[in-house]
């Protein structure tokens, strides 16, 4: 992932991964996991000024061709 890229609310995430969220003047940056296809949200406090910066690309474990996900038995 290109860490120089910045995304804003309303953008659609193309690559799943860990993103650093930068708010405008009310909260320190923090990280979130965002899945591909997610429309980035607005912030309740800083609205559309929030920005998302990719840190590490990753895919949901269910999409890995080499891993077998066991199904849990119903209780």
Q: Which tokens belong to 66?
A: 């080499």
Tokens 């890995």: give the residue: 64
The reported pTM is: 0.80
Query: Is residue 17 a contact partner of residue 55, using CB atoms and an 8 Å limit?
Result: yes
Dist CA 4 CA 48 (whole Å): 19
**Neighbouring residues of 62: CB distance < 8 A, sequence distance ≥ 6:** 69
Give the C-alpha separation, 48 to 38, whole Å.
Answer: 16
Instruction: For residue range 5-48, list pLDDT tens digits in order.
Output: 899 999 999 999 999 999 999 999 999 999 999 999 999 999 99
């Amino acid at each position: 992932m290109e860490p120089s890229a910045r995304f804003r609310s309303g953008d659609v995430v193309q690559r799943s991964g860990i993103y650093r969220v930068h708010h405008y003047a009310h909260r320190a940056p923090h990280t979130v996991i965002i899945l591909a296809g997610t429309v980035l949200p607005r912030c309740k406090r800083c609205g559309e000024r929030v920005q998302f910066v990719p840190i590490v690309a990753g895919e949901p474990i269910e999409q890995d061709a080499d891993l077998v996900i066991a199904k849990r038995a119903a209780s």
